[in-house]
Amino acid sequence: MKIKPYQLKFTPPWEKDVGFGRRHRIFTRKPTKIIANPGVVMKVLRRKKIFVFLAYFLLVALTMLNLANYRWTKEPQQCNHQSQSPRIQSRSDIQFLFTEPPPRTRQLVYVLTTWRSGSSFFGELFNQNPDVFFLYEPMWHIWQKLYPGDAISLQGAARDMLNALYRCDFSVFRLYTNPPGKNVSTLGIFGSTYNKVICSQPFCSSYRKDVVGMVDEKVCRKCPSQKIQLLEQECLKYNTVVIKGVRIFDVNVLAPLMEDPALNLKVIHLVRDPRAVANSRINSKHGLIRENMQVVHSRAPKAHHLPHVDQKTNKKEGSDYHAISALEVICEHMSKTLKTALYPPSWLKGKYMTVRYEDLVEKPIKTLRNVYNFINLTATRDMESFAMNMTSGNSSSYDPFMVSSRNATKAAYTWRTVLSYQQIRQVEEYCGQAMSMLGYLRVRTASEAKDLKKSLMTIPKV
The verdict on residue 81 lying in a domain is: no
Supply the range of the domain harboring residue 412. Answer: 107-450
The verdict on residue 203 lying in a domain is: yes
The verdict on residue 21 lying in a domain is: no
> How do strand 22-23 and strand 17-19 relate by DSSP bridges?
antiparallel
The verdict on residue 152 lying in a domain is: yes
Residue 134 and residue 293 in contact, taking contact as beta carbons nearer than 8 Å: no
Length of the chain in terms of residues written: 462
SS3 271: strand
pLDDT at 182 (0 to 100): 83
Report the alpha-carbon distance of residue 142 to residue 386 in Å, rounded. 32
Helix H or strand E segment including 301: none
The verdict on residue 124 lying in a domain is: yes
Amino acid 449 reads A
Buried b or exposed e, range 383-399, using 16+ CB within 10 angstroms: bbebbeebbeeeeeeee
Report the alpha-carbon distance of residue 147 to residue 154 in Å, rounded. 10
pLDDT at 68 (0 to 100): 60
pLDDT at 454 (0 to 100): 93
Report the alpha-carbon distance of residue 413 to residue 212 in Å, rounded. 29
Per-residue pLDDT of the chain (462 residues; tens, 9 = 90+): 555 555 555 566 555 555 555 555 555 555 555 455 566 656 666 777 777 778 777 877 777 776 665 544 444 444 444 444 444 445 444 454 445 555 568 999 999 999 999 999 999 999 999 999 999 999 999 999 998 888 999 999 999 999 999 999 999 999 998 887 788 999 999 999 999 999 999 999 999 999 999 999 999 999 999 999 999 999 999 999 999 999 999 999 999 999 999 999 999 999 999 999 999 988 876 778 888 888 888 876 655 455 554 444 444 444 477 788 889 999 999 999 999 999 999 999 999 999 999 999 999 999 999 999 999 999 999 999 999 998 886 654 555 545 555 567 788 899 999 999 999 999 999 999 999 999 999 999 999 999 999 999 999 998
Residue 151 and residue 298 in contact, taking contact as beta carbons nearer than 8 Å: yes
The verdict on residue 238 lying in a domain is: yes
The verdict on residue 49 lying in a domain is: no
The verdict on residue 171 lying in a domain is: yes
Report the alpha-carbon distance of residue 144 to residue 136 in Å, rounded. 15
pLDDT at 40 (0 to 100): 62
Total domain count for the chain?
A: 1
Interacting residues of 402 by C-beta distance below 8 A, sequence separation 6+: none
Can you give the pTM of this predicted structure? 0.75
User: 440-449: long-range contacts at Cβ-Cβ below 8 A with a sequence spacing of 24 or more?
Assistant: 440/273, 440/274, 440/275, 445/421, 446/421, 449/416, 449/419, 449/421, 449/424
How far, CA to CA in Å, does 10 sit from each of 7, 14, 154?
A: 10, 12, 126
The CATH number given to whatever domain includes residue 349 is 3.40.50
Amino acid 166 reads Y
Residue 193 and residue 220 in contact, taking contact as beta carbons nearer than 8 Å: yes
